[in-house]
Chains A and B, each alone.
Chain A
Amino acid sequence: MKLSIQNISKKYNKEKFGLKNYSLTAENGIMGLLGPNGAGKSTLMKIVATISQPTQGSVELEGIDIIQNPNYIRKVLGYLPQDFGVYENLNAYEFLEYIAAMKGVGGHGLRSRIEALLEGVNLIEAAKSQIGSYSGGMKQRIGIAQALLNDPKVLIFDEPTVGLDPEERMRFRNLMSDLAQNAIIILSSHIVSDIETIADEVVIMNNGTLITKGTLAEVIGQVEEKVFETLLENSSLTEFKAKHLVVNTNRQKDDVWVRYISNDPVTGSKAVVPSLEDAYMHLTKNRN
């Protein structure tokens, strides 16, 4: 599968853009989207999921324009939006049957597929209770299960780990890796470590534009030898922040350990191994 996004823009009014002349190509594997709020991640995902239309540009799946033929991708799409809801007076079985009908999935195997998915997200015991009585994490797991109902080849997950506990997050990451062998997965998260752990490719966005795209090593490579740590007095921290991009602080009595990014480190600083978070901060803050 190959998904090709060509020069798409989403204009809300004369001055406000959701996306500006954005191009991207994705193939089987996990593409992690990073960016601050308002960067255009959700807009991009909604356009690929065919629920929003770009002002200009094209999106093609296997060479077919899905802006013109949205039903082409819808048959193979699994989408987990950021702020989805549920019909609270249906139980988990009924809700998944309903979503399966939307996706055009039926037949004798449907029931066992739903059972397997509910078992996999650990909701089989609560499957006969109305969803209105579920906790936030349980609803999120229902969301994950619905995305897999139609054996999707394109999966879009917008902040999928919100509401999941650490163990569930780990299980979700394993699932992503499993699915990525045969599907394009576009994953957005504010939790940089989630992306760092599983993404094959990382895309960083800001203000509706693509800032960088590459493998984890390529993106982190952009801050190679630019990340340092130093110990400062508490009182000098404000002045230091004005001059350098501080990514982390750790207070200790009168002093503070500071992790910062700079081309010109202060005396006494120690170079450290950069992380994706460092690269993200460097690439997004330097362009604001």
Chain B
Amino acid sequence: MRQLFKIVISDYWQRTRSYAFLITLAISLFAAYSFVPAPDANYTTLRIGNYIGVQNAAWIGYVTAMMTSVFLCLIGFYLINSNIKKDIQTGVGMIIATTSISNFSYLSSKAWSNFLVLLSITGIVFLMGITLFFIRSAGYPLSMMQFILPYLLIAVPAIFFISTLSVAAEVFLFRYPVWMNLGFFIFFCILGSQQSTTRPLFDLFGVKTVTMSMQEIIHKNNQYTGTDVSMGFIFGGKKAIGSFIFEGIHWNISIILGRVAWICFGWMLIFISSRFFHRFDLKQTFKSGSKMEPSDIISKGKILHEIKVSELSPITPDYGIMPFVSTELKMLIRKGPRWLWLINLGAMVALIFAPLAVAGQIILPVLWFLQVGRWSDLATKEKTNRIHYFTYSSYKPLTRLLTAQIISGLLLALALASPLFIRYLIALQLSSFLGILLGGAFIVLLAVSMGILSGGNKLFEIIFFLLTYLNVNLIPFADYFGGINHGSPYLLLIFLLVIFLACISFVARRFEIRRL
């Protein structure tokens, strides 16, 4: 037990001492601040019909806990889902495999460290919630239990389950990261869409019991029957909203057991995963697969050759970037499983035939999101593959290679969006046409800049997932390609963002090259 604790703590430290974690914390703080809108804000985060609660301790405590639960289930998975992969990449896994630690203990330690990472973020949001209470509550008394109970019983079981789910996903889908990302996206969307009909026991986020209690209060105190729950960032329509007093819910034993059940489901996932865990015996699997290791001529006893320097062809200088663009494109296309291209092609066909609004607002962002694995390491793969010694000592690496990487990423984005491009051109919707062009540039430069700044691909993956989810839900401020907002001022804003990201990318890479 003591050993397990040490493993968990070491794992936790090495993961939290990264820029990606710090930036995620910063994003979480910003998100937490927005969970309780100011009285004059033009959005709400939780609305029951046309009602919102007065900003007392219970409302602020429960709303921030519920939003944290949903928010961390959404981005938490992407933040923590490479815990075992890191042990494979660093080779530490091979050492672990030779120790006496059991599969169950190892996977448990991974789940615990995942949980601690998410719990740290939850803790920060919890403190922000209390701070918000002092900022926003108009004279209502502070009751700590109205903060502690919802965080403990709503957010904690949810993030624990996500921590174990990510371990299970890594065990079963470690060769198929695209399935992992896509599968969770679908899982999350299904959970979200079932919120109105699901029973409290099956609600991972733990919000159903609370919203049902809120609906009851409104039914009792008002003769108003429309009590549909709207959760998330809901813009507009706030003027017609009334208020009600929410005092928290009574946590009876069946509700508590319902939440504990998710923790048990999590342990069950770990137990099942431990039966199928590869224990880092990956080479064997590789050999039995279709890709055979080429035999080395040296081991065959054939006549061996030597490099004869005087017989090598003379060199011709060529400092253009097209060979880079071509190879970068090849690598982008080859990355990920081949079947993903079938889905890409299917989505491109859908871009031709779907109504323009659906194609532009839903299919395109999802199609681009499917390429997250291709773009996320566009400018970090030199370091992760340890090629940077070659690239940084090459001729003008900044202006040639980084430019080529951005161009190749953009070409991929535009090629995928080409059916929609053509439709917009035919319909003479030039602003939408420009929007896609700028959106492609934005997402590629976001990948490049976030990659260089954070030194990894995680941060971009989280932000891109969040952007896609918000886009699919038609949240205007997340519209990075003009799918919802078509006006010229909005496109100008995206253009300025693109320039800003390009500047960050080049300056940060220049700094990186000089400080290696």
- Check A107/B315 contact, CB under 8 A, given A51-B393, A87-B331: yes
CB distance from B329 to the nearest CB of A (A): 12
Does A26 count as interface, using CB distance less than 8 angstroms?
A: no
CB distance from B108 to the nearest CB of A (A): 32
Query: How long is the Cα–Cα vector from A98 to B397 in the complex, in angstroms?
Result: 13
A110 CB contact (under 8 Å) in B308, B316, B388, B400: B316
For residues 315 through 344 of chain B, which have their beta carbon under 8 Å from a beta carbon of chain A?
315-321, 323-324, 327, 330-331, 334-335
For residues 194 through 214 of chain A, which have their beta carbon under 8 Å from a beta carbon of chain B?
none
- For the complex, count residues of B whose C-beta is within 8 A of A: 53
| Binding stretch for chain A, among B15-23, B291-299, B431-439, B455-463 | B291-299
Does B391 count as interface, using CB distance less than 8 angstroms?
A: yes
A168 CB contact (under 8 Å) in B298, B319, B395: B298
Pair A129/B308 contact, Cβ less than 8 Å: no
Q: Which residues of A contact B513 (CB under 8 A)?
A: 51
Q: Which residues of B contact A49 (CB under 8 A)?
A: 389, 393
Pair A102/B401 contact, Cβ less than 8 Å: yes
Does A61 count as interface, using CB distance less than 8 angstroms?
A: no
Does B199 count as interface, using CB distance less than 8 angstroms?
A: no
Query: How long is the Cα–Cα vector from A112 to B308 in the complex, in angstroms?
Result: 13
Pair A106/B297 contact, Cβ less than 8 Å: no
B294 CB contact (under 8 Å) in A106, A126, A145: A126
Q: Which residues of A contact B295 (CB under 8 A)?
A: 125-126
Q: Which residues of A contact B394 (CB under 8 A)?
A: 74, 99, 102-104
- The residue of chain B having its C-beta at the shortest distance from the C-beta of A151 within the complex is B315
Q: Which residues of A contact B306 (CB under 8 A)?
A: 120, 171, 174-175
Q: Which residues of A contact B389 (CB under 8 A)?
A: 46, 49, 51, 79, 81, 84
Pair A101/B323 contact, Cβ less than 8 Å: yes
Q: Mark B377-414, 1 if CB is under 8 A from A, else 0.
A: 00001000111111111111100110000000000000
Does A249 count as interface, using CB distance less than 8 angstroms?
A: no
CB distance from B252 to the nearest CB of A (A): 56
Q: Which residues of B contact A109 (CB under 8 A)?
A: 313-316
Query: How long is the Cα–Cα vector from A146 to B393 in the complex, in angstroms?
Result: 13
B311 CB contact (under 8 Å) in A107, A116, A125: A116
Q: Mark A51-78, 1 if CB is under 8 A from B, else 0.
A: 1110000000000000000010011010
- The residue of chain A having its C-beta at the shortest distance from the C-beta of B328 within the complex is A98
Pair A126/B311 contact, Cβ less than 8 Å: no
- For the complex, count residues of A whose C-beta is within 8 A of B: 69
Q: Mark A73-115, 1 if CB is under 8 A from B, else 0.
A: 0110101010111111110001001111111111111101100
- The residue of chain B having its C-beta at the shortest distance from the C-beta of A52 within the complex is B516
Does B220 count as interface, using CB distance less than 8 angstroms?
A: no
- Residue of A89, A146, A179 contacting most chain B CB atoms (<10 Å): A89
Does B309 count as interface, using CB distance less than 8 angstroms?
A: yes
B387 CB contact (under 8 Å) in A75, A84, A108, A132: A84
Query: How long is the Cα–Cα vector from A104 to B291 in the complex, in angstroms?
Result: 33
For residues 344 through 380 of chain B, which have their beta carbon under 8 Å from a beta carbon of chain A?
none
Query: How long is the Cα–Cα vector from A107 to B298 in the complex, in angstroms?
Result: 31
| Binding stretch for chain B, among A27-35, A134-142, A216-224 | A134-142
Q: Which residues of A contact B515 (CB under 8 A)?
A: 53
- Check A122/B304 contact, CB under 8 A, given A71-B396, A167-B298: yes
CB pairs A–B below 8 angstroms (19 shown): A53-B515, A71-B396, A77-B393, A97-B323, A99-B390, A101-B323, A102-B400, A103-B395, A108-B316, A117-B307, A117-B312, A120-B305, A122-B304, A122-B305, A133-B292, A135-B293, A138-B296, A148-B309, A175-B309
